[in-house]
């Protein structure tokens, strides 16, 4: 297990990063070490640990920084900001075991000095942010992109690793980095799942045992869509919604089949098309999201399926 250093302030982060860079290679030189960043909101689990390990693999001996910050700017009215789990001591153990070097765990006013007054300059997330999660959580992605931009500016990483479970977030971060020329490689890591298929999430701890069983409906619905993809988008959507509607404890918010860039798909995509199927639903008082890749093969695309009628 490695030893992890903790920075509570920007100044501490800068000092620890400078030391780490000097130890690993001359800054700016041909032998300069790469820096990896894994932004999180804490309450870390094996899914987060897999992101840290991936960052470690990508940067070699270079420093890996994990941020632990519950970002108030991405929570709307009535959301779970106050009860979002804060488990820093346990998070540090996860970071250390997974190979992180530094943890940046700032207070809110260290990230937003004017807080509780919001910052005057924020990132406009664009039209993709108004779809899916954005319809239910207006302003959410502006808050996400603003804090990610700040973290990229503070750490100046070469790579930043994000999980694919928050797929819309990943798409938007990649777009921001490209549009604003931020000079960092954004790496997406596959969703980690428990043995029963439930996508790992910090919010899973809110679920009772019965609710956890109901939550498995989300991944079953996504797999149903995958299995019917060869019949086209309407059939895949019908199959997934049939699974969701069969579980009375699950209240679907949306079920969407899109391109990998979250654009609309035609009903019968060209054979070989890659897409994404995404779902959000409330189980008890907990709102969960999940997604899977979906592939449109060339065997029976366009064939009538009973769910089309």
SS (H, E, C) 172-214: HHHHHHHHCCCCCEEEEECCCECCCCCECCHHHHHCCHHHHHH
- Regarding the domain with residue range 5-189, which homologous superfamily does it belong to in the CATH classification? HUPs (3.40.50.620)
SS (H, E, C) 121-134: CCCCCCHHHHCCHH
pLDDT at position 53: 98
pLDDT at position 3: 82
pLDDT tens digit string along 158-167?
999 999 999 9
Whether residue 64 contacts residue 102, with contact meaning beta carbons closer than 8 Å, is answered with yes
The alpha-carbon radius of gyration of the chain (Å, integer) is: 21
- The CATH 3.30.1300.10 portion of the chain extends over 202-308
208 CB-near residues (< 8 Å, 6+ apart): 284
Q: Which residues of the chain have pLDDT under 50?
A: 1, 26, 300-309
The whole-angstrom separation of Cα 19 and Cα 16 is 5
Q: By three-state DSSP, how is residue 255 classified?
A: strand
- The CATH 3.40.50.620 portion of the chain extends over 5-189
45 a catalytic residue: no
As a residue count, the chain comes to 309
Nearest to 8 by CA among 95, 91, 83, 109: 109
pLDDT at position 33: 80
pLDDT at position 291: 98
User: What percentage of the chain carries pLDDT values higher than 90?
Assistant: 88
pTM for this structure? 0.92
Whether residue 40 contacts residue 90, with contact meaning beta carbons closer than 8 Å, is answered with no
pLDDT tens digit string along 187-214?
999 999 999 999 999 999 999 999 999 9
Whether residue 301 contacts residue 234, with contact meaning beta carbons closer than 8 Å, is answered with no
| Fold of the 202-308 domain | 3.30.1300
């Amino acid at each position: 297990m490695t030893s992890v250093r903790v920075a509570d302030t920007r100044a501490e982060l800068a000092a620890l990063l400078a030391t780490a860079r000097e130890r690993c290679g001359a800054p700016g030189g041909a032998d300069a070490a790469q820096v990896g960043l894994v932004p999180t909101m804490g309450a870390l689990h094996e899914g987060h640990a897999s992101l840290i390990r991936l960052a470690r693999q990508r940067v070699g001996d270079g420093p890996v920084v994990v941020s632990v910050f519950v970002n108030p700017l991405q929570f709307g009215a009535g959301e779970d900001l106050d009860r979002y789990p804060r488990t820093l001591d346990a998070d540090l153990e996860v970071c250390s075991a997974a190979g992180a070097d530094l943890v940046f765990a700032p207070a809110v006013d260290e990230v937003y000095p004017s807080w509780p007054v919001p910052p005057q300059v924020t990132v406009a997330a664009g039209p993709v942010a108004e779809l899916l999660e954005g319809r239910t959580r207006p302003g959410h992605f502006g808050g996400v992109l603003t804090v990610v931009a700040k973290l990229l500016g503070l750490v100046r990483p070469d790579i930043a690793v994000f999980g694919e479970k928050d797929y819309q977030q990943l798409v938007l971060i990649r777009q921001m980095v490209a549009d604003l020329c931020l000079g960092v490689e954004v790496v997406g890591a596959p969703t980690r799942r428990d043995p029963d298929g439930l996508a790992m999430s910090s919010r899973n701890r809110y679920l009772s045992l019965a609710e956890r069983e109901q939550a498995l409906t989300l991944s079953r619905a996504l797999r149903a869509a995958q299995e019917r993809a060869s019949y086209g988008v309407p059939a895949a959507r019908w199959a997934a919604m049939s699974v969701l509607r069969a579980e009375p404890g699950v209240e679907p918010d949306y079920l969407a089949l899109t391109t990998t860039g979250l654009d609309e798909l035609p009903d019968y995509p060209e054979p070989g098309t890659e897409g994404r199927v995404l779902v959000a639903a409330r189980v008890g008082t907990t709102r969960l999201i999940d997604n899977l890749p979906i592939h449109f093969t060339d065997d029976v695309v366009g064939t009538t399926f009973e769910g089309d009628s």
